[in-house]
Structure 1
Amino acid sequence: MRQLNLDQLRTLVSISDLGTFSAAAQALHLAQPTVSLHISELESRLGAPLVVRGSRRVTPTAAGAALVERARRLLRDADEAVDAVRRQAEGRVGRVRLGTSTGVVVDLLPQVLEALEEHHAGIDVEVSILGSNEAMSRLAAGTLDIGLVAMPQPPLRDLVVTHWRSQAMMAFVPQRWKAPKRATPQWLAAQPLIFNDATTHMYRLTMEWFAAAGHSPRARIELNYDAAIRSLVAAGYGAALLPLQQTTDAPLNERMQVLPLSPRLVRRLGIAHRPRATLDGATESVLEILARFGQA
């Protein structure tokens, strides 16, 4: 037996609810001969009469009533399936895998996720704490959808990286130290220092800043977690170069000084993803929200 036709089942349900072929035809925007054809084909396919044509009303037979009951469930499931696909395609539901550093997670991502919840509550964002190199590798491997990464990045085939935000780098210094108004490479190089891990883009950015002034300092300790570095600075263990985080550094810790750098140093962040034509709707929606928090 051939598979049941959903349009024909919808016609049968409409006849059962409305009582006549003409009313069903009008409700379904079909010609009445088409409605009659749907029922006759169903009856032929199932080998049983499905409706009784009365003088004033068409009523389902016992077999027709059993089919109507199940047809309602099938049609509801089909409608829900179509709606689910449409919502996925339109970016209203889905799961997006996003990778970024601890600093971005603490300072910027909560605002992004709050806006996403307001506008696209059906999208779940799975956040992984990743360095920029690993984020780019996972994007290339297809195990990540979006990376918030340090710029510049070496070009990778089939990956797009665009500027998102810039963050001023500052010198975080223990409060008890006697410090200048602006921290220079010369002054900092003479202090005990806490650096990011040598594999990170932040480390390379910091060392290039020192090297441009003719210095190559060694760190007292290297870490890869901004909050831990800030805690060590507050404890007086050393000074660190880190991006200023508007949300967490605004109420300055009484045990730290935050000094501007001279010359100025800026960390640039980018959004990395696969080409737009290959993205699903949920990823597009997350990119749209991220763009609202970007900087020209």
Structure 2
Amino acid sequence: MELRHLRYFVAVAEERHFGRAAACLHMAQPPLSQQIRQLESELGLQLLRRTTRRVELTPAGEAYLVRARQIVAAVSSAAGEAQRVAAGLQGRLVIGCVGSATYSLLPQLVRTLREELPDVEVSVQGEMLAPAQVEALLDGRIDLGLLRPPVDEEALSLDVLRADRLIVAVPDAHRLAARKRIRLTELADEDFVIHAGGGRSVMHDTVLARCRAAGFEPCVRHEVAETSTLVTFVAAGLGIAIVPAPVAELLVPGVAYRALTGQASVELAAATRADDEAPHLRRALAVAKILVTPPAKRPSKI
């Protein structure tokens, strides 16, 4: 028995006529009749009662038609699903994201993916520091990471999306809150709130390196894992923080964001497993690249 036998039988059973069924199948009637007889012979029972004017289903044929329709529909559905997966229109995607991008790129990315790829199931793990994302990518818990380089892992592939300027978050009652721009050296005597150290955060090392290059060792009073916690601590007056500019999207009462002089910035990159060629992942990565492109240079359709 082959799948075509089931399709032929369903066509005859629905049309109740070999001639009309043959026309629907774009084949001659004699070969169709022969295929149905082969099917009945293999099953060892009669599925159809033939008369000169029409075809009737036997009780066995009625029961067989129900299952035959299910099988034909399932095969058709499987083929369609496979084609959508191969085209990157269906699948499951888990995105990890550093805190600063959680408040800027991530919402727009997820919204666009749902609009453009509605059959791709997207889930998000926000506020993940870069080392945690690297680990999650390697063990398959996330498929796409939005993180801060550097990443020293050959099994991963990185695409730099943009460079984010560094700014200063200060309590709104702080003396520096009245300034539009702040020099890094003016923070030498301030208490700092920074992301967790010990290799857990790229921003931790970035802030220390910038301060040391400016000629001072920052007085770190608090280390935190989440950007939202960092900003909350600043609002509470526990210190100041150097953060990527997109963090300013996190509007917490009691915090003022001010520009830093100079061109200090940190990169935001998309990280994937180097051997992961899933079509829906490639589509999502392309969407992320388009979203960081200036609006005037974006294509009209993502």
Query: Is the Cα contact below 8 Å between 1:25 and 1:32 reproduced in 2?
Result: yes
Inter-partner Cα distance in structure 2 for 1:41 and 1:189: 90
State the partner residue of 1:117.
114
State the partner residue of 1:150.
148
Worse-superposed segment, 217-226 or 22-31: 22-31
CA 1:69 to 1:231, structure 2 compared with 1: closer, same or farther past 3 Å?
closer
CA 1:134 to 1:253, structure 2 compared with 1: closer, same or farther past 3 Å?
closer
1:262 aligns with 2:264: no
Unaligned 5+ segments in structure 2 are 295-302
CA 1:247 to 1:214, structure 2 compared with 1: closer, same or farther past 3 Å?
closer
Inter-partner Cα distance in structure 2 for 1:136 and 1:253: 29
1:96 aligns with 2:97: no
Unaligned 5+ segments in structure 1 are none
Q: How many percent of aligned residue pairs carry the same amino acid?
A: 28
Structure 1 vs Structure 2 CA RMSD? 2.3
Deviations along 1:175-221, one digit per CA (max 9) or x if unpaired, are 22222543223211111111111131001111111122222223111
CA 1:66 to 1:176, structure 2 compared with 1: closer, same or farther past 3 Å?
closer
Inter-partner Cα distance in structure 1 for 2:202 and 2:255: 24
1:201 aligns with 2:198: no
Task: Pick the aligned partner of 1:87 from 65, 84, 109.
Answer: 84
* TM-score after normalising by structure 1: 0.88
State the partner residue of 1:63.
60
CA 1:19 to 1:219, structure 2 compared with 1: closer, same or farther past 3 Å?
same
Deviations along 1:106-137, one digit per CA (max 9) or x if unpaired, are 33211211111212222222222422112122
1:19 aligns with 2:9: no
* TM-score after normalising by structure 2: 0.86
Number of residues paired by the alignment?
A: 289
Shift of 1:61: 2.8
Inter-partner Cα distance in structure 1 for 2:99 and 2:50: 71
State the partner residue of 1:293.
291
Inter-partner Cα distance in structure 1 for 2:202 and 2:32: 68
Inter-partner Cα distance in structure 1 for 2:233 and 2:203: 18
Inter-partner Cα distance in structure 2 for 1:122 and 1:15: 35
CA 1:118 to 1:107, structure 2 compared with 1: closer, same or farther past 3 Å?
same
Query: Is the Cα contact below 8 Å between 1:100 and 1:149 reproduced in 2?
Result: yes
Paired residues for 1:177-192 under 5 Å:
177-179=174-176, 180-192=179-191
